[in-house]
Amino acid sequence: MPHHTVYEAKIEHLQILDEDGKLDKKLAKDTLSDDQVVYLYEQMRVCRELDEIAFKLQRSGRMGTYPQNKGQEANAVGSALAMVKGNDWVVPSYRENAALFMHGMPMHYVIQYWMGDERGSKFPEGVNITPLSVPIGTHMLHATGIAWSMKARKEADRAVITYFGDGATSEGDFHNAMNFASVMQVPCVFYCQNNSWAISLPREQQMNSATVAQKALAYDMPTIQVDGNDIFAVYKATQDARKRAIQGGGPSFIEGVTYRLADHTTADDARRYRDQAEVDAWLEKDPLIRTRKYMESVGVWDDKKQEELENRAKTIVKEVVDAAISVSAPTSSEFFDDMYAELPEDLRRQRDTMRTSSIGRDPSQIGLKAQHAEIKG
């Protein structure tokens, strides 16, 4: 047959909990219990409170910049619960705070990090999280490498999840990571938080594909698009992807369709490029609102519990901020000591003397002593 179809595909969209808090019970089977829903809602609410206080810290000059998670929290909590704390690895971008907290990162580390204290990236032993990654897309290569090492060591019950935005899928590192992960069939879950904006650039102007999820088809990778503001859909998609990974089925791709309700960071003003009507429409899809509607509909939540949570969130975040602000100042040696397991001699000399031995100070170290003397003469 000289002319025939060699490849066909489709992208499925999954929603289990709609904007009105109505649950598709058939699809929700074997996903989240009501207790787990309450737990995830509490995690989202605390994360939202942290966002609000971090914003105020930046505006009062106590923090350089900060990227709010507001509106995207369901992606983080739903996927984080599907992964196994202390066993799997989480490789984040910078808008997954709740997932990091759920996997053991002390909350005040996030505040330290955005205050410019790199000790906010030095996680306690046993916390399987890589540092926040501000460069767009580079960390996906690290996730693939970690997953490859798991496969090489025959750690069949472990997997990696890595988070990134729609803008990152336009980067070369994304494609390098996806291709390698697919070829080597590593246990990695690629989770794209598609919030429709790469800072000020709308998704439609950075890619011509109808979905982000279809990009995984080029790498023969199982892929799905989910309602990213639906904790049930996020949990199920990630649970399925993790199961596939640990059973030797290789990597998977998840596109969580969501929206950032705040600016890209505190250094941004989204009013300059976003239509307020668009923001208002997404406010009605807020994951906290729809989750609360569901909990109230099944009788596990009420105004009294909400008030208690609000107060508890304020107390937690206050303690977190106090811990970050009151931490002792770092020593100059810490800049060197955290970089290498065994410090090279030239850096050890810099650390101990607080002086550099670079070419600018000592040209003779690379054989330029004579030329240097001629220049002086």
pLDDT in tens, the chain (377 residues): 689 999 999 999 999 999 999 999 999 999 999 999 999 999 999 999 999 999 999 999 999 899 999 999 999 999 999 999 999 999 999 999 999 999 999 999 999 999 999 899 999 999 999 999 999 999 999 999 999 999 999 999 999 999 999 999 999 999 999 999 999 999 999 999 999 999 999 999 999 999 999 999 999 999 999 999 999 999 999 999 999 999 999 999 999 999 999 999 999 999 999 999 999 999 999 999 999 999 999 999 999 999 999 999 999 999 999 999 999 988 888 878 777 888 998 888 888 888 876 655 555 555 555 555 555 55
Look up residue 219 and give its two tokens: 């790498």
* Helices 303-326 and 107-114: angle between axes, nearest 10 degrees: 50
235 with 32: CB under 8 angstroms?
yes
Catalytic residue among 260, 290, 292, 294: 260
Residue 302: per-residue pLDDT: 98
Domains of the chain: 13-326 (3.40.50.970), 334-376 (no CATH)
Residue 366: per-residue pLDDT: 55
Residue 333: per-residue pLDDT: 83
Q: Is 264 part of the annotated catalytic residue set?
A: yes
Handedness of CA 196, 264, 19, 10 (dihedral sign): positive
Task: Enumerate the H helices of the chain as residue ranges.
Answer: 25-28, 34-59, 73-82, 97-102, 107-114, 139-152, 172-184, 203-206, 231-246, 276-283, 287-297, 303-326, 334-337, 345-353, 369-376
Q: Is 66 part of the annotated catalytic residue set?
A: no
Look up residue 8 and give its two tokens: 């066909």
Catalytic residue among 264, 290, 292, 294: 264
Beta-sheet pairing, 197-198 with 188-194: unpaired
Task: Write the single-letter amino acid at 164.
Answer: F
Spatial CA neighbour of 171 closest among 224, 222, 207 = 207
Catalytic residue among 273, 340, 348, 372: 273
Place of tokens 């859909």: 233
Length of the chain: 377
- Cα(171)–Cα(215) distance, rounded to whole angstroms? 12
259 with 285: CB under 8 angstroms?
yes
Q: Is 274 part of the annotated catalytic residue set?
A: no
Look up residue 75 and give its two tokens: 């992606």
Q: C-alpha angle with apex 265: 208 to 83, nearest 5 degrees?
A: 75
